[in-house]
Structure 1
Amino acid sequence: MLDTMTFTKIVGSFCGALLIFLLGKWGAETLYHVGGGHGDDHAAAYVIDTGDDEAAEEVVEVSFDELLASADAGKGERVWGKCRACHKLEAGANGVGPYLYGVVGRDVGAADGFNYSGALSDAADVWTPEELNAFLENPRGYAPGTTMSFNGLPKAEDRANLIAYLDQLDD
């Protein structure tokens, strides 16, 4: 069934197909070649001014203490909407997360009746505004292994407003 002539035809057809494929690839590269390779000394046809040459405006870094001093608890209440799915503000009323009534100044991991994951054991002893700021910025980075799935609040103003809101709620 399979003689030498048939085998030669099959191998020849594969070699021919490969040759056509390689020639097509070479022709496409030659036709659509964009920059790179042989002497990149050609000039652009036109230049678009993007303004990158201008000096960038300097961003003034404001310390967290200054942000906290000027924080707006009303705006913090709006930020609290991101937290209310898992946390409650009533003392002793735990949800998926521990209650946050009186959290500012409270011992870390001290919410009565809440079973903590243990990831906060290496954290600070007390939830100071600075510790809360660090935790709220990146909970998993602050306490690796925490079961809190929240990604954090990237804006320092939002964190300061939320901490001011939480601080005003306790006695």
Structure 2
Amino acid sequence: MRFVFLIVGVAIILTAGVAWFVSREDGSRTMGKPELSSAERGKFVFRRCQACHAIGENKKLTGPSLAGVINRPSGSIEGYRYSNAMAALSVIWDEKTLTEFLTKPRAFVPGTKMGFGGIKKPQEIQDLLAYLVAEGGLHDAEATQ
């Protein structure tokens, strides 16, 4: 008899636990994977970039390091050989300029060496920017003066 009560008790606890786990704030229920943060999703978007770009300061790949790219002046990494078009560009890489650039790089900077067609989904760009901030930080203007 105790065994039956034990089984029923465990079943009730498990049912309540599963119901609590899958409930969302909006009242919907799901058994899917937990939602990822924007930066976590951005890590997956960054995979398209990592063949040419790194986030580490001392990593040398085809493209410039993206560490501290947010709020950094364009074409400003000392020692990196930018295309003439990118070297002549005078923007600060903020959310607006990076969104425009990442959507259509060659339209934003005609003559860029970057051989990437762009990111079509605005949410993926936002996720990528969140990842770049989380992993690479923001540009420190005082450090470069």
Equivalent residue for 1:154? Answer: 120
Mapping of residues 47-58 of structure 1, within 5 Å: none
2:132 match: secondary structure: helix
CA RMSD of aligned residues (A): 1.5
- In structure 2, the gaps of 5 or more residues are 1-36, 139-145
Which residue number corresponds to residue 95 of structure 2? 129
On the 8 A contact 1:76/1:161 being kept in 2, the answer is yes
Which amino acid in the other structure matches residue 136 of structure 1? L
Partner of 2:134: 168
In the alignment, which residue of structure 2 is the partner of 1:91?
57
TM-score (norm 2): 0.65
Structure with the greater alpha carbon radius of gyration: 1
Question: Could you list the runs of 5+ residues in structure 1 that have no partner in the other structure?
Answer: 1-70
Q: What is the percent sequence identity of the aligned residues? A: 35
Aligned positions of 1:58-69 closer than 5 A: none
Per the TM alignment, residue 153 of structure 1 is displaced from its structure 2 partner at its CA by 0.2
Out of 74, 77, 98, the residue aligned to residue 108 of structure 1 is 74
Q: Does residue 42 of structure 2 align to residue 76 of structure 1? A: yes
Distance across 2 between alignment mates of 1:109 and 1:79: 23
Paired with 1:145 and 1:154, the residues of 2 have a C-alpha distance of: 20
On the 8 A contact 1:92/1:111 being kept in 2, the answer is: no
Deviation string 1:54-97 (CA, Å, 9 cap, x unpaired) is xxxxxxxxxxxxxxxxx700000000000000001111423110
CA distance in 1, matches of 2:88, 2:65: 21
Write out per-residue CA displacement over residues 35-68 of structure 1, whole angstroms, 9 at most, x where no aligned residue.
Answer: xxxxxxxxxxxxxxxxxxxxxxxxxxxxxxxxxx
TM-score (norm 1): 0.55
Whichever residue aligns with residue 89 of structure 1, its letter is I
Mapped to 2, the partners of 1:128 and 1:118 lie a distance apart of 21
Residues 75, 89 of structure 2: 8 Å contact kept? no
1:163 aligned counterpart, secondary structure: helix
Structure 2 contact 56–65 (Cα < 8 Å) conserved: yes
CA contact (8 A) 2:38 2:130 kept: yes
Distance change (3 Å), C-alpha of 1:130 and 1:98? same
In 1, the alpha carbon distance for the partners of 2:88 and 2:116 equals: 19
How far is the alpha carbon of 1:102 from its aligned partner? 0.5
